[in-house]
Amino acid sequence: MPELPEVEALATFLTSHAVGHRIVRVDVGAFHVLKTYDPPSTALHGTTISSVTRRGKFLDIATSGPHLVVHLARAGWLRWRKELAPAPLRPGKSPIALRVRLDDDSGFDLTEAGTQKRLAAYVVADPATIEGVARLGPDPLDPAFDLDALEALARGRRMQIKGLLRDQSVIAGIGNAYSDEILHVAKMSPFKIADSLTPDDIAVLHASIQDTLRGAVDRAAELDAGELKAEKKANLRVHGRTGQLCPVCGDTVREVSFADSSLQYCATCQTGGKPLADRRLSRLLK
C-alpha cells in the first residue's frame, strides 16, 4: 500500500512533470473508481494543473477548475507515461481504471491489482468535502507534530500502539508497512497500549516516526514514479520480511496474522524475546 513517503514522492514527481500543463481528456476505464459525480470527470477537461500536494495518503491534484483527489488504497498505483496512445481508453477493456492526458500527450494512468477494488478518485471543488480527507488527523511531518502533540494523541487511548499509528483519524499517512518499521526502530511492541506510554516512550516513538518517515521521503525524493515501489521494498527492515534475519540483532523476523493483514516484528528487539500471540496460527494448531 502506498503510504506517506510514496504519496509525497508522487506529489513531488507530478509537481515537476504535470504542473502548468492543461488536461486534455480524462478517460474512465473502471466506473467504480469514481466516487463522485458532481462535477463530472469531464469538468477537468481544459483545466490547467496548478499544484499537486499530499493530504495524508490522498494525492490532491488542484487545477484551474475542480480538484482531482486520488486514494491509491491497498493495490492502486499511478503510472506516468511520457507519451500516451492517441486512442481513448475503452471501459472494461483495460487494467487501467483512470487515465489523464495532458496537452503534450504525456499523462498518467491509475491502475489497481487484485480483486479488491478500493482505488478511489474524487472530482470536487473542495477536498475537505471528502469524508476521508475531512477526518484526517495531524500530519506527522508537520512542524506542529511535536512531543506534546503525540502525547496528547496517546493519552486516554486504550488501543494498541500499532493500531494508533495506522488510524488515519489519529495520525495521517502511516499505514501497515511504516508502522511496523517505526515500532522496530523504537524497539517497541506493536501490542503496547498507547495510554501506557511514558514520557520517555513518547520521545522514543516520536523520534522513530520522524527518522523513519523523513528517511523514506528523502530516499524517494529524486526517483521517478516507476521506481518508488522497489525502493520502498528494498529499505524495509521487518515489514514483509517474515522468516528473514533482523538487520539489527540477527533474530528471525516474526509475523502476527489478522483477517486481512499482518504485522511483522523482531521479538529480540521489540518484545524482550517473547513471541506475540498469533490467534490465527493458534486456531490452526488446536
**Domain residue spans of the chain:** 4-134, 147-285
Give pLDDT tens digits for 132-174. Answer: 999 999 999 999 999 999 999 999 999 999 999 999 999 999 9
Distance between CA 128 and CA 55 in Å, rounded? 10
CA–centroid distance for 22 within its chain: 27
Percentage with pLDDT > 90 across the chain: 85
* 161 CB-near residues (< 8 Å, 6+ apart): 154, 183, 188, 189, 190, 191, 192, 193, 194, 197, 205
Tell me the one-letter amino acid at 222: E
Distance between CA 1 and CA 168 in Å, rounded? 14
Mean pLDDT over residues 175-198, rounded? Answer: 97
Q: Is the pLDDT of residue 107 over 70?
A: yes
**φ, ψ for residue 176 (rounded to 5)?**
-65, -45
pLDDT for res 286: 30
Q: Is the pLDDT of residue 55 over 80?
A: yes
Q: Is the pLDDT of residue 118 over 50?
A: yes
Query: Are 267 and 254 spatial neighbours (Cβ–Cβ below 8 Å)?
Result: yes
Q: 181 pLDDT band (50/70/90 cuts)?
A: very high
Residue 177 DSSP SS3: helix
Residue 86 has which C-alpha cell? 492517441
Q: 283 pLDDT band (50/70/90 cuts)?
A: very low
Give pLDDT tens digits for 11-33. Answer: 999 999 999 999 999 999 998 99
Q: Under CATH, what is the fold of the domain 147-285?
A: Helicase, Ruva Protein; domain 3 (1.10.8)
Distance between CA 20 and CA 17 in Å, rounded? 9
- Burial code of 145-154, b = ≥16 C-beta within 10 A, e = fewer? beeebbbebb
Handedness of CA 237, 242, 247, 252 (dihedral sign): positive
Per-residue DSSP letters for 254-283?
EEEE-SS-EEEEEHHHHSTTPPPP-HHHHH
Query: Are 61 and 44 spatial neighbours (Cβ–Cβ below 8 Å)?
Result: no
Distance between CA 103 and CA 31 in Å, rounded? 24
- Whether 4-134 and 147-285 share one fold: the answer is no
Which of residues 85 and 129 earns the better pLDDT score?
A: 129
- Measure the CA dihedral 120/125/131/137, to 10°: 100
Query: Are 183 and 190 spatial neighbours (Cβ–Cβ below 8 Å)?
Result: yes
Sheet containing 120-124, strands listed edge to edge, beginning at the edge strand earlier in sequence = 49-55, 58-63, 67-71, 120-124
Report the range of poorest mean pLDDT among 198-202, 221-225, 247-251.
221-225
Instruction: Say which CATH architecture domain 4-134 belongs to.
Output: Alpha-Beta Barrel (3.20)
Q: What angle do CA 206, 274, 191 make, to 5 degrees?
A: 40
